[in-house]
Amino acid sequence: MGRFGLEVADVFRRYGEAFRQRHGASLSTAQRRVMTAIEVCRTAALGGHVEHCDHCDHQRISYNSCRNRNCPKCQSLARAEWLEKRESELLDVPYFHIVFTLPEPVAAIAYQNKEQVYDILFRTASETLQTIAADPKHLEAEIGFFSVLHTWGQTLTSTRICTLWSPVEVCLSTERVGSPADRISSCLSRC
């Protein structure tokens, strides 16, 4: 176990082989490769090098990483850099957080038909928000948003969620009575 507690690699090392035997038919070659890469990441299997302190002669073996883009240990820096870059692109306004979740039976279909099902999910979420926002009973506005697909929850449980963020400030398509904030609040209470 790593010094920060249980890691995905620890789970894969302990249960990965049994999982592959039980679910082998449903795992793609890419998924198998990811599991193996995470299992051997920063172990002797990938080799390493010795770090040596010139002051106290302390030596430490440092094992090489797998560099797999799906490895949580290898990609923490890349993830932090990606988040920082995305944050710099955000408008300096509050955002609504909107979540579309696939029902479990559809999520099971998505497991084997990712591209098709996720395309439908993103398209449907986009069209739904744009339709509601354009409706004169709601905002009568054109909105912008960005979305992210989550396939794993924070507790490492499988999930299929399309999360969208839309700025609170919206571009109104016609002159209306009331401030945008009042209209948004009114819309949210009716939706």
> What pLDDT sits at residue 3?
57
Pair 11, 27: CB distance under 8 Å:
no
**pLDDT greater than 90 at residue 38:** yes
pLDDT tens digits along 57-110: 899 999 999 988 888 888 887 888 888 998 888 888 888 888 888 888 888 888
Which of 112, 113, 120 is CA-nearest to residue 162?
120
Quick one: average pLDDT of 48-58?
A: 91
Q: Provide φ and ψ at 96, rounded to 5°.
A: -85, 140
Place 156 in a pLDDT band, splitting at 50, 70 and 90.
Answer: low
Average of per-residue pLDDT values in the chain: 82
pTM of the predicted model over 0.85? no
> What pLDDT sits at residue 188?
47
> What pLDDT sits at residue 138?
84
> What pLDDT sits at residue 167?
81
